[in-house]
Amino acid sequence: MSQLTGKGLTYGEISKLLFYLGMSVVSMVLPLTILLSSIMTFGDFGERYELAAMKAAGISLLRVMMPLLITVSFLAGILFLFSNNIIPDFQRKAKNMLFNIVSSKPALNFTPGVFIDQISGYSVKFDKIYGEGGQKLEGVFLHKNASPYDNQQTIIAKKGKFANAEDRNYLKLILYDGYVYEDNISGKPYEERKKQPNQSVKFDSLVYHFDISELINNAIEKEKITEDYRFQTYGEVNGTLEKNRKSNLVSLTSMASPVISQTNNYVQYIDKTKQQDKVIKEPYKIDTLKKDKKLEVLWSAYNKIETLKAATDSNETAISDIVKSHNKIVMYQQRIVSYSFTCIIFFLIGASLGSIIRKGGMGLPVIIAIVIFIIFYVLNLTVENISWKGKLNPYLAAWIPNIVLFPFSVWITYKALTDSQLFDIEKYKALFKPLIDKFSKPKEHQRYQ
């Protein structure tokens, strides 16, 4: 929000930007919504004994789930189309709109006693702003932001006021009782500039116009950024990945060549006892050299090793950035599909848990849904970070949360179909009763102690 304040944006423009940014979370919110709604729905069925009545009538839980499973599969298909076609378009709009807002100059916001530089080429300060609509001014100070080789100008006035200019691209300022201080040094030699006397002009009234066209004509939705993998569909990302693989191969080859050439070079030193400053490159035994030559060779070897280490470290950083960039694109592409399958997995988990716990409403179902979603989200972040470091295949990383949760969804569905008492506290008490009895005294004997 700090990037939006002071930019002269309307509430409509801010709402539009937040709407564009909000579209990207739909792919994550829809699976959570399906999980929560399925737990609440089937929990409600169980709490009101509707599931028991259906089972008594010969309708299995799987048959009850089937229409909703078809509906969820339909929603998963819609999510794929939405993520593949609509979200990239909104991402492009949001990215460009945010870039234009951040890069634009702030709207005019005069504060008494504070210098502002929003007006191109000037620094302005007003000691006091008053009157209806803040039109009247006191203690006006204007300074032209010029280089040391251009004419310098400063204007000081006791009073002033804003007025309507004929052209809306200009701000009109009428000043009263002040001075204009100016040095006419533009285009003059250095020695003449030093001799140039200061000039001051006293005025009773002065009209000044400021060009503010950049502030009021800024198109915040003009698209300047078009090349980004997040603006592309699943098929278009394939083309981007192919281009990246070719460019990455060229980059990696260029990184390896200098390092290989450096490792094949012998340590050199200059031998002045033979021909004139002959450079020795052949292998030799360092013990056969004199002390000063030995130090020269060792120092040369040390410098070569340090250079090689610096080059290697630099290449490692560059390779890490290349791997991270490539894996980001792959994971973005795969999640277009994987989140659709997450919807089906979350429905199986939610419907089964709802029928087992037999509790509807906004209490326990919400807690269970949040816990499951947090597990899914943490898995997502973990494999994402591991993949960015190049330690995990990005294609596998994008699907690991689904791979982990799918067996759980099958198991919990099987438990629901077999009427398992998975959350029956009495069952677990009976399981641990022998162990508890060993460490507790019978209640019968408490009366006699």
Query: pLDDT tens-digit profile of 406-431?
Result: 999 998 888 888 876 666 556 656 66
Contact 254, 318 (CB under 8 A): no
CA-to-CA distance for 411 and 391, rounded, in angstroms?
Answer: 30
In a domain, 447, yes or no: no
Is the pLDDT assigned to residue 236 strictly greater than 50? yes
Q: From 83, 82, 86, 75, select the one nearest 343 (Cα to Cα).
A: 75
Burial environment of residue 343 by CB neighbours within 10 A (0 to 12, 13 to 18, 19 or more): buried
| 3 state DSSP class of 203 | strand
| 3 state DSSP class of 220 | coil
Contact 175, 157 (CB under 8 A): yes
Strongest mean pLDDT among 270-279, 327-336, 417-426, 433-442: 327-336
Whether the model pTM is above 0.75: no
Is the pLDDT assigned to residue 308 strictly greater than 90? no
Domain range holding 155? 122-216
Is the pLDDT assigned to residue 185 strictly greater than 80? no
209 Cβ partners below 8 Å, 6+ apart? 165, 170, 171, 172, 173
Place of tokens 């929560």: 36
Place of tokens 């599969």: 73
| 3 state DSSP class of 160 | strand
Can you tell me the mean pLDDT for 76-81?
A: 92
175 Cβ partners below 8 Å, 6+ apart? 140, 155, 157, 159, 160, 203, 205, 206, 207, 208
CA-to-CA distance for 388 and 322, rounded, in angstroms?
Answer: 10
Task: Identify the weakest region by mean pLDDT among 281-290, 316-325, 381-390.
Answer: 281-290
pLDDT attached to residue 106? 57
Residue 147's alpha-carbon distances to 31, 117, 153, 179, 208, in angstroms, are: 59, 16, 11, 21, 21
Is the pLDDT assigned to residue 234 strictly greater than 60? yes
Is the pLDDT assigned to residue 163 strictly greater than 50? yes
pLDDT attached to residue 364? 77
In a domain, 200, yes or no: yes
pLDDT attached to residue 329? 87
Is the pLDDT assigned to residue 334 strictly greater than 60? yes
Are 295 and 362 contained in the same domain?
A: no
pLDDT attached to residue 269? 47
CA-to-CA distance for 250 and 403, rounded, in angstroms?
Answer: 35
Are 128 and 212 contained in the same domain?
A: yes
Are 209 and 128 contained in the same domain?
A: yes
Are 68 and 142 contained in the same domain?
A: no
Are 289 and 364 contained in the same domain?
A: no
Contact 131, 174 (CB under 8 A): no
Rounded to the nearest 10°, the torsion over CA 316, 322, 323, 325 is 140
Q: From 156, 162, 167, 115, select the one nearest 135 (Cα to Cα).
A: 162
Strands in 132-227 per DSSP E: 136-144, 152-163, 170-183, 199-211
The residue from 299, 329, 359 where one domain ends is: 329
Rounded to the nearest 10°, the torsion over CA 168, 171, 177, 179 is -130
Q: What is the pLDDT of residues 191-229, one digit of tens each?
A: 776 677 677 889 899 888 877 766 655 556 666 677 778
Are 307 and 341 contained in the same domain?
A: no
329 or 151: which carries more pLDDT confidence? 329
Is the pLDDT assigned to residue 267 strictly greater than 70? no
Are 260 and 340 contained in the same domain?
A: no
pLDDT attached to residue 302? 82
pLDDT attached to residue 285? 63
Are 206 and 246 contained in the same domain?
A: no
In a domain, 15, yes or no: no
The residue from 285, 314, 329 where one domain ends is: 329
Is the pLDDT assigned to residue 266 strictly greater than 50? no
Place of tokens 């399925």: 38
Are 153 and 195 contained in the same domain?
A: yes
Can you tell me the mean pLDDT for 53-65?
A: 83
Q: In sequence order, what are the beta bridge partners of 173?
A: 162, 208
The residue type found at 297 is V
Confidence of residue 3 (pLDDT cuts 50, 70, 90): low
Q: Which helix (H) or strand (E) holds 271?
A: strand 269-271
Q: Which residues of 291-307 are buried (b: 16+ CB within 10 A; e: fewer)?
A: eebeebbeeeeeebeee
Is the pLDDT assigned to residue 345 strictly greater than 70? yes
How many domains does the chain fold into? 3
